Structures are given as C-alpha cells and as structure tokens.
Amino acid sequence: MDRLFNNPWFVRLVSLLIAVMLYTMVNMDNVSNQPGVLPDSEESSYTVNNVEVEVYYNEEEYEVVDEPETVNVELSGPQTSIMLFQLSRPSFEVYADLEEQGAGVHNVRLQHRDFPADLDVSINPRVVSIELQEQKTVSYPVEIDVNNEDETEEGYSLGEAEASPEEVNIKAPQSVHEEIERVRAEVDAAGVNEAVETEADVIAYDADGNEVDVPIEPETVTISLPVDSPNARVPISLSRQGTLPDDLSIVSLDIEPTEATIYGPADVMEEINTLEAVLNLTQIEENGTLEIPIKVPEGIEQVDPEAIEVAVEVGEQEERTMEDIPITIDNIPDSYSYTVLDPDELTTGVTVYGSASVLDNLDQGDISLSADWEDAEDNDSPAVLPLQTNGPTEVRIEPDIDEIEIEWSDESSSAETNEN
C-alpha cells in the first residue's frame, strides 16, 4: 500500500477522482440531464502564462543574441482534459527550430509538443523574431592586476608580473566582442618576500568594469611575480687553499668580476663587507681560466653572479729573503700597555716564493706582518698571538717565526686601584 501512495501517478489519479466527485456534487442538477456521469461534452479553456521558448540552432557556429524569453499558451478542449492537465502538469515545450538557419534576423513560427492530443494549443505570439550571430574566436592579451603592492614586506620590491599563456581565446558573437574592453587575472602581493607563482582565473570586463559572461579558453593562467630582495654591491676577495707544485708559482691572477650583488635582509647585509671565493692551488698545473663559486654568507638569500672566473698565469718558482719586516699588533685596546716577550723586537725575516717577474718587482713595503690581539686565548697575560701575513696575491710568504708572545696590562684598571 505504501508503494502505491509513493507513486506520483497514483496520487494524481486519486486527486483527479476527488476533483471529479466534487465537481459532480456541485453540479448535481445537471447530471441527470447528461448521458454519462462526467461532463465530457463541456468545453473549457486555460491559459499557461510565461512559457519559456526553447531555440534550437547550430551552437558550434552561432549564438542567439535576441529572442523572446516567454510566451503565453492558451489551451481549449474538454473540461475534464483541462482539469487533468492542470492537475498533472505534464512536460511540454514551445520551441523555435533554427537548426538550418544561418546568421541574421529570422521571423519564425513557434512550434509545440507534448501537450494533450485532445486540446487545441494557441501560442501568443505565434511568430517571433530571433537573431543569430556567427561566433568568432578572438585572442585577447591577459592583463595582470597586482593587488596590495604597497603591502609587500618592507625592503622588497616587485618585478613585472607575467602570465602563461600570455593570451586566451574567447569564442562569441561580434556584438559580445565589442563589449569586451579587457581580459585580466589578479595576483595578491600582500606580505610577499619571495617570488610568487600561482594559478588565477581569467575574467573578461566591459568598459564600465562589469564582468562579461563569455567562455574563455583556458579559464586560468599561471602568474609569475618576481620579488626583488634588498641588495648591495660587495667586493670579492680571492683566498687560497692548498699549494702549487714545487716548481710552479703564480705570475698573475685576474678576477672577473671583482664585485657581486647580494640579496637578503638589510640588517644582515650591513654586516657583510666582502665576499670570499677560494682558489684551490692543487688544481693548477698550467695557465688557464677557472670558474670558482662565491661563498654565500649566512643569512643571504642570493649572490649574483654565483661564481667568478679567475685567469691564472703560472711560471717557474723562485724565492727571495727579506729581513726586518715589521710586525704590528692589531685591535689591542688603547688603555692597554704591552711588552713583547718573544721575539726581542717586533720584526722578523721572511722568505717569499713566486715567479722571477713578480719577485724582481717586489720590495719590502709590499709585505706586512700582523698579530691580532683578539686571537689571545681568554685574553690572559702573557698572550701568544699567531702571525698573519699579507702581500701580493701572486706570492707565498713564509715568515721566520709563526707567533709572538706579549705581556699586557690594563692601565685604566691600575689607575682606578691607585685612586682607591
């Protein structure tokens, strides 16, 4: 029984019977004069308002740009059929067939189907004007709107955004193409501190900034937004590791470039005065050019370029000795006094290795020796400080001693003690 009540046609039939019974009871005086129980011979009419009009046409080639949205349909016939139609509301259709028609304005007679066969159907208006326009595919460049440019992270700047693909295709009637002012996609730059690559919807707009509802191929593009970090130019220093073969020495080293650009937080860059590239001398056997990577300091995001080229010229190694090269002590506080315990004087001899052409032009002023007080372990007195050499990059310097020993005292502390 439940299955019957769940059947919509059963419910409709029951509703119809109830309606007929009610109608019969209301019209009891007329029933006796009729040959049958149901008033089948009575004619009636019913108007269905605002019936949508379906238009059939070649959708691959054309688009409807002007058509009636709705019409009214008047039904006439037996009253029982009208009542049954009102109760059951069967599927029906009013349509225009333009399948064989091309572009232009067409005055077409509307057709109908699936109305009850015993009812007369009258459509108002019966003849309507429908315009078809040929669809054209047009390529549009994709403009990129970068939103919140002023909200990028402090110190970072935005490059030029690019879309991939750079153009999209829109298939639409000419009248629709005339509405389209621009095609764009959007990317948000709020808070960015690195390059952005994201997918974005492509939308067409008219001259007033209203969205134009058209199919776009492709519907999305990939947006690339470069983000430049704060940067600074820094000189490059070339240090060495390892040793050349015994019979070779550096004649010249030419570095290109001598500076590089570093990118990163401003507070980190402020602490960087030079960049280091390390030349491995064990790899050198003859004249040539080497590509050497630049070391990236901690906290720096990028170094540009990432490497330098070093043109190396080598020659037969010779040696020279120099006497009484002064030794300086760096970074000792002004309030400290010190005494050199070893050597007796702050000088020493050195042996310099290099090619003859370099050594012949070398004088004592080109060589310097130093000891850094900050290298003193725990700053205890006496302190032993390793000796550091400095000279032309084409030579190797070996001092006669490796370290010095000094005794020091803090005169400001002694003065405070005496005052007390």
For residues 9, 11, 14, 20, the Cα torsion angle rounded to the nearest 10 degrees is -80
**pLDDT for position 420:** 46
Strand partners, 335: none
Find tokens 């007033």 and name the residue: 208
Q: Is the pLDDT of residue 295 over 70?
A: yes
**pLDDT for position 205:** 95
Q: Who has greater pLDDT, 276 or 90?
A: 276
Alpha-carbon distance of 211 to 214, in angstroms, equals 9
Alpha-carbon distance of 365 to 352, in angstroms, equals 13
Which two three-digit tokens encode residue 408? Answer: 């020091």
Query: Pairing relation of β-strands 120-124 and 275-280?
Result: unpaired
Query: Pairing relation of β-strands 347-355 and 396-399?
Result: antiparallel
Cβ-based neighbour number of residue 236 at 10 Å: 20
Alpha-carbon distance of 312 to 48, in angstroms, equals 96
pLDDT tens digits, residue range 263-281? 888 888 888 999 999 999 8
Which two three-digit tokens encode residue 346? Answer: 């702050």
Strand partners, 106: 130
The H or E element spanning position 320 is strand 307-330
Rounded to an integer, the average pLDDT of 404-411 is 84
Q: Quick one: pLDDT band at residue 158, thresholds 50, 70, 90?
A: confident
pLDDT tens digits, residue range 364-389? 999 999 999 887 765 677 888 999 99
User: How many CA atoms lie less than 13 Å away from 207 in the CB half-sphere?
Assistant: 4
Q: Who has greater pLDDT, 17 or 159?
A: 159
Q: 366 by DSSP, 3-state: which?
A: helix
Q: What does the angle CA 32 – CA 34 – CA 37 come to, to the nearest 5 degrees?
A: 85
Q: Where are the alpha helices (DSSP H) in 107-265?
A: 174-179
Cβ burial, residue 242 (10 Å; 0-12/13-18/19+): exposed
